[in-house]
Structures are given as structure tokens and as C-alpha cells.
Structure 1
Amino acid sequence: MRESIRSAATATLHLLLGAVVSLLCYLMVGVVLFTAVLSLTVIGAGVLPESVLLLRRLADWERRLTAARSGAPVPEAYLPLEGPLPERVRTAVADPSTLADLLWMAAKLLYGMVLLYAVMVLWAPALLVDGAWTGLLGRRPVLLPLIDRLADLSAAWSRTLLTPGPAAARDAVLAARVEQLTATRAGAVAAHGAELRRIERDLHDGAQARLVALSMRIGLARRAYAADPEAALRLLDDAQDQAEQALAELRHVVRGIHPPILTDRGLTGAVRALAAGSGLEVTVTADTLEPAHPGPDAMGAPDAPDTPSAVVARAPAAVEAAAYFAVAEALTNAAKHSGATRASVLLARTPTGLRAAVRDEGRGGAEAAEGAGSGLLGLRRRVAALDGTVRLTSPVGGPTVIEVELPCVW
């Protein structure tokens, strides 16, 4: 009996809060009518999007009440009300969810109050009848469970009315995807611009300076050749050194665009080379991400072309490059900022793409260092350009884990 009373009280509270929403719906009807009249004028058109947003908040409150009662969230699918005023007005009017919310509001005016009235009337006989029924006959309550059913009925009606239809859900998903792609494109453009500026700076400060010095040495050597051949020879030696340094600078710039080691060794070999030169004790664990290069076996014969290692597909070049630079950035940050001496790298194939994870045992707090030039923002933009995701876990005290998921077809 006590459990039935407690459950009925919870159901009554739900219906009471639903009745509050019904009262707000009454007020919202006045807002809707006022907005409809004002929308006929140019000045009043600006009220329409705000009224729709207010209606969405009211419907969202009902969704939370329904989810709390039923234990399952109620989906929503709204088009974003953004941009200039004419665009916001068109979106507010054209959004199928606006009409669905209006229908729910009209229905809530009725069932929200009616169900509460029914429950209030039911409480007194429920206590009397169920008290005698259980006290004298030892039977289960029969009227108190009806209060629970009325609350469940209210939640079911709200869920049916507020659940978006296929068209609304499709439009909302499309709008969210467009918004995501817009942000991704902006990030990709910013990352591309930063990369171009870096390349220009490296060429200007490195290779170009070396080539200018090389030209000067050759010019001086040509002038000194007739009068002092030994001095000319020394100048040519200096010019050769300058040429080698310029080539080294150019190789450094090229590696920043697309590392040749990726083509030569594949992602696993390239990451192992990164680990070896990182200055940390790095353990690399790699799934089979690319086919092994054919080589001689123990008897000196080349690998058979039909061995499993020769038919494993590699990830696309752009995906491999993004994973490579993500690992490089993570290891660089670990060596410079974390204070760690050990790190680990995991490369693995997933059903939808490629996963790369770097973990260091440093001091943590990497998120706070993002705005201080740690490169995490650039890393996110590079990965987002390929529709990938970056997850950073770095509590103070460590460890720091950076996980990159890149979609691709194997």
C-alpha cells in the first residue's frame, strides 16, 4: 500500500508539473496570436523568430518531463534560427517542427489540465477503497495504480506529439551537417592558410637565405678566380656547403608538406621513425595498416604475391598524412611541455577508418596549453578537414592521451 501511495504521489507530481506547462501554453496562445498580428507588419516580423524560440523552450521543458517519467529521451529536430532576420523568419515558418509544437501546445491545453483534475478527484476514493481493499481483504490496490496510468498516458501523448516526423528529422540532420561542414571548411581554410605562411616563412628564412649566400659565394669566386685561384677554391667550397644546407632546408620544408617517409615506409614505419627521434622512450603498437614491402625470405626468395601482408589495403594518403602529423604534434608537445620521459603510440584499424592514440606520462593540463601555441588547435583543424575527430584527456597530474579517429575506406 505504501509503495502504491508513493508511486501515485510521484505520478501526481508529474501531472502537476504538466498542468503548469498547460497554464504556460495558455499564455503562449496569446503570444502566438499577438505575433501573428504583428507579423503582418515589417516591424513585427522580428518578433516571430523569438516567439518560435520561446515555444521551443516550452516544448523542451515538456520533453524533459516526459523523459523523466518514461526513462527515455524525447528526440527533437529543429532547424537553427540563425543569420539575418529574413532568413530567420523563413526558417521559423518553414520548419516542420514549428507546426508540430503548435499542435502539441493546443493538445496540451486540454489533456494537461483534464488529467490533473481526474487525478485530484481520484485520490480520495483511491485512499478509501484501496485502504479497505488491502486492509480487510489483503488484496492489491486497484485505484491508486490508475493514477500511474494517467501519468503514463500523459507522457505517451506528449512523446507522440513532440517526436519529430521523418521530414523534420531529415531537415534537421541536413541543417546540422551543413553547419558542421561550414565550421569544418572554415577550420580547413584557416589551417591551410597557416600552413602556407609556415612554408613561406621556412623558405624565406631558410632555403632562400642559403641560396642568396650561395649566389654571393659563386660571384665572389668568379671574380677572384683570375687573381687568386686558391681564394676562389675556398669560396667554391663555401658555396658547396651553402648548397648542401639549402638542400637540407628544402627537404625540411618538403617533409612538412608530405613526408616522403610515408611513401617509402608507410604509416607504421614513419611513426616508428618519429618515435626514434622524439627524445622520449616511446613504445609503438601498430595494427597491420599497410602491406609489407616484398623482400627475400629465409631462403633468399622473394615473398609470394598472395601472402596476407601483400594484400592489406593502405589508408588514403591524406589520412596517413593527417595521422602522421597528429602523432608528430603529440610527441613534440610531450617532449616540450609535459615533462614526460615515456610515451606510447597506438595505431589501429577500425571498422570505419583509422585510429591513432598517443599517451604520455607527464604532468597533464594540455588543454590549458592549447592557446599557448601547443599546436592542438591546428591538429583539430587538420583532422576536422577529413571529417575526423580528436579527443583529448589530460587531467592535472597526467597522463595525457590524444586520440584521433579518421574515417576512411580500407
Structure 2
Amino acid sequence: MARTELRDALARADRASMQLLMGAGMALLSYVFVAVLLFTVVASLIVIGLGVLPETVLLLRRMAGAKRRQVGRWSGAEIREAYTPLTGTLVERVRKAVKDPGTYRDLRWLVVHFVYGLLLLYAALLLWVIGALVDGVWCALLGRRAVVLPLIVRLADLDTRWSTALLKPSPEAERNAELAERVEELTVTRAGAVAAHGAELRRIERDLHDGTQARLVSLSMRVGLARRAYDKQIAAGLGEAPPDPDVVRKLLADAQDQAEEALTELRHVVRGIHPPILTDRGLVGAVRALAAGSGLDVTVRDDGVEDGPRAPAAVEAAAYFVVAEALTNAAKHSGARRAAVELARGAAGLRLLVSDEGRGSADESGGTGLLGMRRRVAALDGTMEVVSPAGGPTRIGVELPCVW
């Protein structure tokens, strides 16, 4: 038992020592960075070397980021980064680098870590020497718990606490970083929504041009031929030959068929914009109709969506198209026989989950289906998660925020 505890203590102390050694190595890099910093200060005093300042700040950020990741691996708690992006012209980049509070926070950490990083490593080396003597006898011969080696772990914890306190951004900087991330996310979302809107317009234009317009042109020609045939029959009736109404009747019948096909094409286009079944049956009824016509054995589960007020039309339409595309993909590509759709009313909005028992390996880069679904969801500030390991199953979860 004592030997097991000694091995555990040695393993923990070894990991802690590696943590301190990496920290000390970063502290030694501070020597090099101090030289770079002095060069930057001197170069910035003359206008020619002003462009070095933003690059030096970026190097400092990378060093601080490496320390954040190291501390995060040891403690299990991530230290958030909050920096002002160094973009724009040279003058703007220099101004942002100088005014960014994160620059001075990283400099403060660099100076302080320059001292305590090496001191903690020296203390750990000393404890290793003492621990090899004391704990080796204390645990191996007397059967007691290690008392010196655990102190190395505490040194690593101390390094983590100090580094966290120095590198953690202020609440204001953290709020600004969250705001910047939100703006970037909305920019990407808007671009995706614009792309999805453009693709939808092109689809509607293509359907109208290739389908409905062609039907109407054909209808116009049929009506024109029927009119000419009718005129000829009238003219023929004035002579000796009797009129033949069968030709006119056939042309009018063809024209009627063309008109019905054009109406069918128009209905198809209208359903692509906003399915009328959503207005008539609601989201749950429309999804059940999709399930019935999908060719799969689909189970639809409703968790409060059908009860109470309905979601906004845009949210229902997005959910409907996601389910339709997911079931279509499952029927075409997954090889599944069964699928399930779950709709749930949440406090923040509508949640839906589409799953199938197919072969999995769904890839967003392999086609436009999943990408179109993600863009449609992102346009409403929603989220979509696709889990599709090789061998299945495939699960597509979507959350659409709305006020019920």
C-alpha cells in the first residue's frame, strides 16, 4: 500500500514538475522578449520602426495565450482572452495596440512571471531532492504517506492561481470581447442569410423559368393553334366541306392540360416559399404530413408544441424545411428504414431533433443540403448541431429562439 501511494505521489509530482518546468521555460523566454521589447521601444521612437510595435504586441499575445492554455490544461478551467483586434492601417494598428488594456495586462504578467516562474521551479527541484530522501524512507520503510512530494503539486497550483489572476481579463474587457464575438457571429450569420436568400431567389427564378414559364408558353401556343383551327373550320363551313369540331376540341383539351400543369408548377413554387400546409395544420400537422410521405417509418413526437400559442411563421417555416431536408437526406443517402422527429416547446424557443438509424457519416461539405439547413437556422439566430459518426446514427438538433 505504501509503495502504491509513493508511486501515485511520484506521478503527481512529476506532472506538477513538468507544469513548473514549462512555466520556467516561458519565464526564460522572457529574457529574449525583453530584448525584443527594448528594440521595439527604440524603433518606435523613430517613425521608420513604428510598424514593429503591432507585431511585438502580437508576439506577446501568443506567449500569454500559450500560458493560458497551459494553465487551463492543469486546472481544467479556461482563461478567456479579451483583446482588441489589430486591424486597419498601420496608424490604427499602433493606436489599438497602445490603447488595448490587454497589452498592459500581458506585460504585467510577463514581468511578474519572469520572477515567480523561475523561483517556483527552483523550489520544486529542491523539494525533489528532499522528497527523494524523506518520502523514500517515510513511505517505503515506515509505510506512511508522502509529505514532501505533494508540496510540488501545491507549487503548480500556486503557479496556476497567480497566472490566472494576472491573465484573467477585467469584467469590462470580457464584456467587450463577448460583444466583439457577438458582432462577428452576427456578421457571419448575416452573410449566410444573404447567401441563403440569394440561393432561394435563384431557385424560385429557375423553377418559374424552367417550369411555369415553359408551361404558359406552350399553353399560349395551344390556344393560338386552337383559334386558327377554329377560324379554318368556320371558313370551311361556309363552303361545301362540313366543319370538323374534333380538331378544335383536341387542341382545347391540350391547352387545358397545359394550364393545369402550369398551376401545378405554381403551387410547387408557392410551397417552396411558405408551405400552405403550415397555415392549415400548424407545424406538428405539417411535420406529420412530411413523415407520412417520406417513404420511411417516421415517428413524430410532440412535446407541447401543438398546445398553446404558435411560433412565428418564419420559425415554423425554418423548422418545416429542416425536417423536410433531413428526412429527404435520410431516405436518399442513409439507407435507414426508420427515423424520428421530436418537437419541443422550450422557454427560449422551439427545439427539434431529427434522427435516423442509417449508416451515418453525414458531411456538410459533401453537398448543399446540410449547409442550406444551417444557413436557414442561422438566419433566425438559431443553432444547429449534426452528430453523424460512421455507422450511425445521425442526429440533427436545432434550436430556434422565439417568443411564444
* Distance in 2 separating the partners of 1:355 and 1:281: 22
Structure 2 match to 1:297: none
User: How do residues 42-121 of structure 1 correspond to structure 2 at under 5 angstroms?
Assistant: 44-82=49-87, 87-121=92-126
Does the alignment pair 1:257 with 2:253? no
Quote the Cα distance in structure 1 between the aligned partners of 2:138 and 2:254. 108
Aligned ranges 1:348-359 → 2 under 5 Å: 348-359=344-355
Q: Does 1:233 align with 2:249?
A: yes
Structure-1 separation of matches of 2:386 and 2:207: 29
- In structure 2, C-alpha distance between the alignment counterparts of 1:159 and 1:49, rounded to whole Å: 25
Matched ranges for 1:6-405 at <5 A: 7-40=12-45, 44-82=49-87, 87-121=92-126, 146-228=151-233, 230=245, 231-290=247-306, 309=307, 312-367=308-363, 370-405=364-399
- Whether the 8 Å contact between 1:80 and 1:175 is mirrored in structure 2 is no
Shift, 1:20, TM fit: 1.1
Q: Distance in 2 between matches of 1:24 and 1:45?
A: 23
Deviations 1:139-192 (A, max 9, x none): 877665554444332221111001111111111111111111111111111111
Q: Distance in 2 between matches of 1:407 and 1:252?
A: 28
SS of 1:226's equivalent in the other structure is helix
Aligned length: 388
Q: In 2, are the aligned partners of 1:392 and 1:403 still within 8 Å (CA)? A: yes
Once structures 1 and 2 are overlaid, which stretch shifts more, 29-38 or 39-48? Answer: 39-48
Are the counterparts in 2 of residues 96 and 167 from structure 1 also a CA contact under 8 Å? no
C-alpha distance in structure 2 between counterparts of 1:143 and 1:183, whole Å:
54
Q: How far apart are residue 122 of structure 1 and its match?
A: 5.4
- Aligned AA (2:114): L
Unaligned runs of 5+ in 1: 291-308
Instruction: Describe the SS at the equivalent of 1:392.
Output: strand
Cα 1:384–1:219, aligned 2, differ >3 Å: closer, same or farther?
A: same
Contact 1:218-1:235 at 8 Å conserved across structures: yes
Moved more, 114-123 or 162-171: 114-123
Contact 1:95 1:168 in 2 (8 A): no
Q: How much is the aligned-residue C-alpha RMSD, in angstroms? A: 2.8
- 1: CA distance, partners of 2:361 / 2:140: 63
The alignment partner of 2:42 has SS state of helix
Which structure 2 residue ranges, 5 or more long, are not aligned? 235-244
Q: 1:326 to 1:8 in 2, by over 3 A?
A: closer
Q: Percent of counterpart pairs with the same letter?
A: 66
User: Which amino acid letter does the alignment assign opposite residue 351 of structure 1?
Assistant: A
Once the 2 structures are TM-superposed, how far is the Cα of residue 129 of structure 1 from its aligned partner? 6.8
Structure 1 position 21, deviation (Å): 1.2
TM-score, normalised with respect to structure 2: 0.86
**Structure 1 residues 277 and 149: CA distance shift in structure 2, 3 A:** closer
Distance 2:36 2:12 in 1: 36
Report the Cα offset of residue 92 of structure 1.
3.1
Q: Deviations over 1:179-226 (max 9, x none)?
A: 111111111111111100000000001111111122222222233323
Distance 1:175 1:278, change over 3 A: same
What is the SS of the residue equivalent to 2:310?
coil
Secondary structure, aligned partner of 2:232: coil
CA distance in 2, matches of 1:220, 1:334: 47
Question: Which stretch of the first structure deviates more once superposed, 105-114 or 196-205?
Answer: 105-114
Q: Check conservation: 1:387, 1:406, Cα contact below 8 A.
A: yes
Give the 3 Å change call, closer, same or farther, for CA 134–273 of structure 1 in structure 2: closer
Q: TM-score, normalised by structure 1?
A: 0.84
Q: In the TM superposition, what whole-angstrom CA distance separates every residue of 1:220-273 from its partner, at most 9, and x where no partner exists?
A: 223332332623333222222221111111110010001111111110111111
Deviation, 1:403, is 1.7
CA contact (8 A) 1:333 1:374 kept: no
